[in-house]
Amino acid sequence: QRESFDSFSRVDYVVNPIHRFTVSLSVFPQKLDFFNLNSFNPADTTANFHQRGWFLALNEQAAFKSGGLLQSSFSVKQFDANIFGNSAAPYRIAPEGNFGGWFDRQHRESRRYEWLEVYHFALRHWHGLHVFKTGLNFSHTTFNGSNTSDPVRVVRADDTTSQLIEFVGGGKLRRRQNEYSAFVQDKWSINGRVTLDLGLRFDRDQISGTNNFAPRFGFVFLPTASERTVVRGGVGLFYDKISLNSGSFEQYQNLRVTAFAPDGVTVADEPRLFRNTAPGGGLENPYSIAANVQVDHQLTERLLLRVGYEERHTRRDFFVEPVSHQASTASALLLQNSGRSRYCEFQTLARLRFQEGRNILLSYVRSEARGDLNDFNTYFGNLRHPVIRPNQFGKQQFDVPNRLLLWGDFGLPYDIVATPVFEWRGGFPFSFLDEAQNFVGPRNAGGRFPQLMTLDLLVTKGVKIPFRGKKYKGRVGVTIFNITNHWNPRDVQNNLASPQFGTFYNSPDRSFRTKFEFVKF
């Protein structure tokens, strides 16, 4: 159940021929009730997510007689969030599903101040045309909140307790962060057929305390004089920010896990306290090395063909790893800063222009996504998972080897536009579990969901709305989802102890949604 409101306002003021000033304000409150509702989480067991937020930006632009352009901006963003359950009943995880009330409560208040200066130099001629740009950025972010959880019971098929998971500590969270960055960029047009994009970025933040330099290179090449073929590509190093949630890891509640014998009463292993432990040498920024190449060929005036390849390797990502020692007090939940992931895709695309501004596009993507699977957000994000098993490296949950998309927009009489979208793709992978919620075999290797096939359609009509002597343009319409009512399940019973093991559930039926766009000219 969703309730949201989005508002964006902007005021532009031309101070003089050189200076222009802009103020923009957006507000975006949202309520998502029962937002993890599915076949295994009844309404009373789900969580609610309520957010409040606003964004204010002041921008000033100065154009100089020399041809230079200075853009200055200052912004403030406030984002608050609350996550809470719908029932006070104890939370239980069973082979058949989850029962009771949601166990976790979160409250977050965050604010970010940011100042940005970007200077565009006048055009320079030296062995071609150079467009130089440089910038400085400073931001200050504060985060305050709490994350507290009630005990969780993992029960077997006969309803006896397998594990009791308790959360120890106050769960009060607080972190501040200063971030600094600078960049230089040169777009160098050597001639009409070769353009290079050269850049270097510097980043430093308060949590890691390290200086990170990231070079980047891109190119555009026209191999023939006809200019009907364009080759694009690039490679670069990209550093990620360290989230304040990761930086607050040791402030979260610690897990205390008690294992029980088959009778569900006798303690099989004394309670083990897993203390949240961050890397001893401090946190380092995750980084990615990404590269891509793409070839576009204008086969006819109306038909464009594209072939492309992209690959991205991520290192120093964050994941959690439970470590048990013989002494129960020496166990730990480690925040590891050595996570790896790899994503690659091969894409082909055809675009047919059959009306002015109207296109039909057909795309096929072959891809692979692998990485460490105990990523931080799975266990400490909005929807916390209380059962933490050893990390594995394998297929990501969003790994889809094959995907086909066909979409377009058709202009019809009476200012009607029809936009159909057809999608076919392979199913997402899933794991096998036993009744104690342990993974059986490699994770995400148990099987895949059935192939997804869906046809959606958006139809809108232009309208003019009179108001105070003026007419304002807008569009009204309707969206139809899954027109063919194809079986596209979103849930699977993957617990070997369930009589329904291997059954798929929760396919969305055909549905309708109205749409209204209001545009002031």
**Predicted confidence (pLDDT) per residue in 9-38, tens digit:** 999 999 999 999 999 999 999 999 999 999
What is the average per-residue pLDDT within 377-385?
94
Please name which of 355, 504, 494 lies closest in space to residue 431, comparing C-alpha atoms: 494
Q: In which band, very low, low, confident or very high, does the pLDDT at 519 lie, cut at 50, 70 and 90?
A: low
What is the average per-residue pLDDT within 126-155?
97
What is the average per-residue pLDDT within 501-514?
95
Compute the mean pLDDT over every residue in the chain, rounded to the nearest whole number: 95
Using an 8 Å Cβ cutoff, are 238 and 256 in contact? no
Helix (H) or strand (E) holding 267: strand 267-277
For residue range 349-380, list pLDDT tens digits in order: 999 998 888 999 999 999 999 999 999 999 99
Q: Please count the residues of the chain.
A: 521
Which residues, 6 or more positions from 226, have their beta carbon under 8 angstroms from its beta carbon? none
pLDDT at 280: 87
pLDDT at 4: 87
CA distance 315 to 336: 11
pLDDT at 137: 98
Which residues, 6 or more positions from 85, have their beta carbon under 8 angstroms from its beta carbon? 45, 46, 47, 48, 101, 102, 103, 104, 105
Query: Does the structure show a pLDDT above 80 at 518?
Result: no
For residue range 488-497, list pLDDT tens digits in order: 999 999 999 9
Cα-Cα end-to-end distance for the chain: 34
pLDDT at 521: 47
pLDDT at 520: 57
User: Which residues sit opposite 182 in a β-bridge?
Assistant: 136, 202
Three-state DSSP class for residue 467: strand
92: number of Cβ within 10 Å: 17
For the chain, give every domain's residue range. 400-521
The alpha carbons of the chain give a radius of gyration, in whole angstroms, of 27
Which residues, 6 or more positions from 39, have their beta carbon under 8 angstroms from its beta carbon? 97, 491, 493, 505, 506
User: Which residues sit opposite 186 in a β-bridge?
Assistant: 132, 198
For residue range 305-352, list pLDDT tens digits in order: 999 999 999 999 999 999 987 766 679 999 999 999 999 999 999 999
What is the average per-residue pLDDT within 467-491?
91
Q: Hey, what long-range contacts does 28-37 have (CB within 8 A, 24 or more apart)?
A: 28/4, 28/53, 28/54, 28/55, 29/4, 29/5, 29/53, 30/2, 30/3, 30/4, 30/5, 31/1, 31/2, 31/3, 31/4, 32/1, 32/2, 33/1, 33/2, 33/3, 33/86, 34/1, 34/86, 36/383
Please name which of 341, 402, 345 lies closest in space to residue 372, comparing C-alpha atoms: 341
Using an 8 Å Cβ cutoff, are 102 and 84 in contact? yes
Chain centroid, CA 215 distance in Å: 24
Please name which of 155, 148, 183, 152 lies closest in space to residue 166, comparing C-alpha atoms: 152
DSSP characters for 70-137? Answer: EEEEEEEEEEEEEEEES--SPEEEETTEEESS--EEEEEEEEEEEEEEEEEPPPEESSSEEEEEEEEE
91-94 and 152-155 beta bridge pairing: parallel
CA distance 236 to 214: 7
Q: Which two tokens stand for residue 280?
A: 């001893």
Using an 8 Å Cβ cutoff, are 171 and 137 in contact? no
pLDDT at 188: 97
CA distance 399 to 342: 11
Highest mean pLDDT among 66-80, 268-282, 456-470: 66-80
pLDDT at 472: 79
